[in-house]
Amino acid sequence: MKIKLQSLLIILAITAFSCSDKDDDTPAEGPQLIVKFKFDPNQARLNNLGQPSTVPTGNAAQTPVFNSISSHYLEFAPSANTMLGAGTVLYHAPETGTGGANAIDFSKAKIVGENEAFLSIPLKDIASGSYEWVRCSLSYQNYDVNIWSAGANYVGTLASFVGFRTYIGTHNIASYPFVVNGNRDQGYWAFGLKGFAYSSSGQAPAGATTVPNPIAATSPIPAGSCVVTGKFANNLVITGNETSDVVVTLSLSINNSFEWHEVTADGKYEPSTGENVVDMGLRGLIPSYVK
């Protein structure tokens, strides 16, 4: 009986060790594709066709100080002839019909700061190929802007919704709550002044948001979307046999990206005089990678 008991204890010990050892040896996901954002105030300021652009007469602009951003869609495209959606789609944010028409679900948006990982997926799950272009549909921006009022400058935080349409419940800007509970089209914004009891919201004109797409002639994007397109300096080649992470940085031009129509031609944003926001689009995308 004693021998049998000892044998049973040995078997249980081996079994426990085996189970523990198996858990420790669970395979990792392997090398990752990691996507980050960069905000560049000195990058070229482009128009919808990806050409250099100046601020139109009658308008003024400033380069905001970015806090965070979110994307709705991310795709790698092999060539300039690859139609939107026909490349390798890496990310598509949750959408909802709660507000009626289909919209981006802001409550589920992933919002990140500069150089913070927005996306991390196993490289083994990405289709092998040589990718020349990146398409990134931006959906939300959060940044600080200067406000001129009664001869003094103030700083406030602005939330800019540039996706095709967004369903928003309640969102907060600079400690101010904005209760929406509905859909808002591209160009909706909300503003909160720092240190003073003032907040406001509004809507930029339809179709006024700049969305640079240098390959519009061969691969157009839908009107009202915010699919900014940029080209790798050298094609990103995914083989499926990578042994280390690939980090892709999406450098976004914020060069005078906050634009308004002037009432007083002084280059200062002064909402109290009726100066309205007309464009909050990013002004270009330059993707790069490190293997």
Over 70: is that where the pLDDT of 283 sits?
yes
Query: Angle at CA 87, nearest 5°, toward 75 and 101?
Result: 60
pLDDT for position 21: 40
What's the pTM value of the predicted model, to 2 decimals?
0.89
Confirm if 182 and 98 have CB atoms less than 8 A apart: no
Mean pLDDT, the chain, as a whole number?
Answer: 91
Q: What are phi and psi of 280, to 5 degrees?
A: -130, 20
Q: Which of 208, 184, 229, 166 is nearest to 61 (CA)?
A: 208
Q: Which two tokens stand for residue 76?
A: 């790698």
Over 90: is that where the pLDDT of 13 sits?
no
Q: Which two tokens stand for residue 90?
A: 């890496």
Mean pLDDT of 7-22: 37
pLDDT tens digits, 182-240: 999 999 999 999 988 899 999 999 999 999 999 999 999 998 899 999 999 999 999 99
pLDDT for position 17: 34
Mean pLDDT of 29-50: 97
Work out the pLDDT band at 25, boundaries 50, 70, 90. very low
